[in-house]
Structure 1
């Protein structure tokens, strides 16, 4: 995040923000007068948090200071990651497993309920993006669990679609592809790992939706290839979710190192770092 004058905010790896006070550097102000320094200097003197995947924040935001809550993002990310990991392994037909029944308890319990709760806690923290993403994907897993539950009979041969569920499932997955694309657009000024989490997830939904369209047209070979490709990108999304969760959990008190999050050069933090390098070069 760009420096606040006269306060400068430093982001720790666990998602917390510490504030240090220093006198304004007039050289820095001259160098950045066309950038974000002066815009942020007009904000209130409270603590602002920067974009970070570990807190599921795509941009600069101000958390509710009167609430004493832990960071719920790692919990939601881990719930999403584990459930996605298992389903993606099945979609890739790992070790010959192709039936997704084992995903049902995870979809209801961990990826569904726990992730939904994490989204509600993000709302209490004042993080709109995190609340929207975690709550929505929690709803995705619950609805997916319902689709796989035989007692509901939605995809059964005797169900409402008489076994012809490819196109309805394609519509279901296409909707989630569109939703994920909207979230992806909100991560373009955040961090590399945060962006690629939603990028790979978006591709996973795209390929899995296309798989169902191919099956509806009777092309089973193409459907299998698309399913495995979607599983591969879902696999990547799962590990990226775990990576971002680790970035939100780690700090100097529990780890000997912190995983890097790689801020985009055009992000607020990236511009700040470029400005510091330029100031050091001029000194």
Structure 2
């Protein structure tokens, strides 16, 4: 019998999974918001928002909880819930379960609240990897543009928000790519700052 203890593998970084789930769903919706895909494309966004943007981020947030990462837990669980809220809003509105025709600026105010929440998380990114700082910088501004576009009835703000959302989602995908690649190679191959 040997007294040697087998080395324990380091836990996987759930941020890589959460970021790609967030990033791909954000890019798809932003293509619609920017006018590069038709508005009817929101029907394609709904299942992705539930499965990848929502559920996968919730899984990532729960894994971050287990690792003791308060920032990752708060961000991934919250944005996972955001995607579920967004998908359910569209499903309920399109199926007549709820009528948002009289909601006025309520959806825009909800997006502005998400922008405020994202701004408060953004402050914490000053101490984190530069890629997270960039993702959250573009995300809170995206929410502000989308929210103001909805509140003020200014579709051009929604289009600009869509373009910035494309940048945000792409940055998140890049961050995930870097985390997975660097972990696989065991060294920094893709710089994340």
State TM-score, norm by structure 2. Answer: 0.87
Decide whether aligned partners of structure 1 residues 121 and 67 sit closer, same or farther in structure 2, where only a CA change above 3 A counts: farther
Q: Secondary structure at the match of 2:60?
A: helix
Equivalence for 1:277? none
Decide whether aligned partners of structure 1 residues 253 and 86 sit closer, same or farther in structure 2, where only a CA change above 3 A counts: closer
Decide whether aligned partners of structure 1 residues 255 and 121 sit closer, same or farther in structure 2, where only a CA change above 3 A counts: closer
Report whether the alignment pairs 1:78 with 2:20: yes
Shift of 1:260: 1.2
Shift of 1:138: 0.0
Structure number, greater radius of gyration = 1
More helix by share: 2
Q: Secondary structure at the match of 2:192?
A: coil
Shift of 1:166: 3.8
Q: How many residues are aligned here?
A: 183
Gaps of 5+ in 2: 1-7
Matches within 5 A, 1:53-92: 69-92=11-34
Rounded to whole Å, the distance in 2 between the matches of 1:199 and 1:207 is 13
Q: Secondary structure at the match of 1:186?
A: helix
Rounded to whole Å, the distance in 2 between the matches of 1:198 and 1:260 is 18
Rounded to whole Å, the distance in 2 between the matches of 1:203 and 1:108 is 23
Equivalence for 1:195? 133
Q: 1:98 is matched with which residue: 35, 39, 42?
A: 39
Matches within 5 A, 1:74-223: 74-95=16-37, 97-99=38-40, 100-149=42-91, 150-151=94-95, 153-154=97-98, 159=99, 161=100, 163-215=101-153, 223=154
Higher relative contact order (CA 8 A, sep 6+): 2
Rounded to whole Å, the distance in 1 between the matches of 2:171 and 2:66 is 25
RMSD: 2.1
Matches within 5 A, 1:227-238: 227-238=158-169
